[in-house]
Structures are given as C-alpha cells and as structure tokens.
Amino acid sequence: MQNIPLALARPQMVLARIVTNPNSPDGPPVCGKGISLTESLIDRLTRMGVQSITVEGHPVIIEGERTLDEMLTKLDERFRRVAGDSLMMRIKEIYKSRLIRSMEG
C-alpha cells in the first residue's frame, strides 16, 4: 500500500484505507477500503479538501523514494551481521515478504 497525494490519484486505483472528511476526522467515512477510484470521486475528495489517500499496491513513483530493489538491498545490509541467527533470518524473511507485498500488490 502507498500513501499518495490526492493530485497523483488516478481512476482504477483502489483505496487501501478508509477516507474521512478532513474537517471531521472522527465522523463517518467518506469512502471505504476497497473502493475503486473514479474521476468523479477524485473530484469530490478534492473539493472536500482531502490532501492524501492510501491506495493498494505501489502505483506511483515519487521522486526520492526508494525502489523495491533498493529497499531489499538495504534490508540485506541491515541483517548481514546476524546471518547465523535463524530467528533473525526468519524475522528478515517476514519483513521481506511484507515489503514485497506492499510494493507490488
């Protein structure tokens, strides 16, 4: 899942989290998780003052953001010193699978 500025939202992207009215964050949701965006919905959210949304996958490349390959390389570097520890390797694999799932899908 990826948090993106609403200005980068496009039709067919799917919300990964509910969207609330920024003027009433404790109020009822405006859109539910799993809703597919349309032009009219994006326009409505813009008029309401919504600044960002969380969408499924990782559909937008934002300047300065690391790629999946860069993140996986960094993960390998962080766990290098504990390579002989099976529990730490299991934690690394769990983190790796969650990272891949969030970036790809």
**pLDDT 10s digits, 17-63:** 999 988 888 888 989 999 999 999 999 999 999 999 999 987 777 77
Class of domain 2-55: alpha beta
Instruction: Give the C-alpha separation, 21 to 31, whole Å.
Output: 9
H/E stretch holding 20 reads strand 19-20
Per domain, the residue ranges of the chain are: 2-55, 68-104
Closest CA to 72 of 89, 90, 54, 93: 93
Instruction: Give the C-alpha separation, 51 to 55, whole Å.
Output: 13
Residue 59: predicted pLDDT:
77
Residue 25: predicted pLDDT:
80
Phi, psi of 79 (to 5 degrees): -100, 0
Residue 105: predicted pLDDT:
53
Q: Are the C-beta atoms of residues 56 and 104 closer than 8 Å to each other?
A: no
Residue 61: predicted pLDDT:
74
Instruction: Give the C-alpha separation, 38 to 4, whole Å.
Output: 16
Residue 104: predicted pLDDT:
67
**pLDDT 10s digits, 68-99:** 889 899 999 999 999 999 999 999 999 999 88
Residue 81: predicted pLDDT:
95
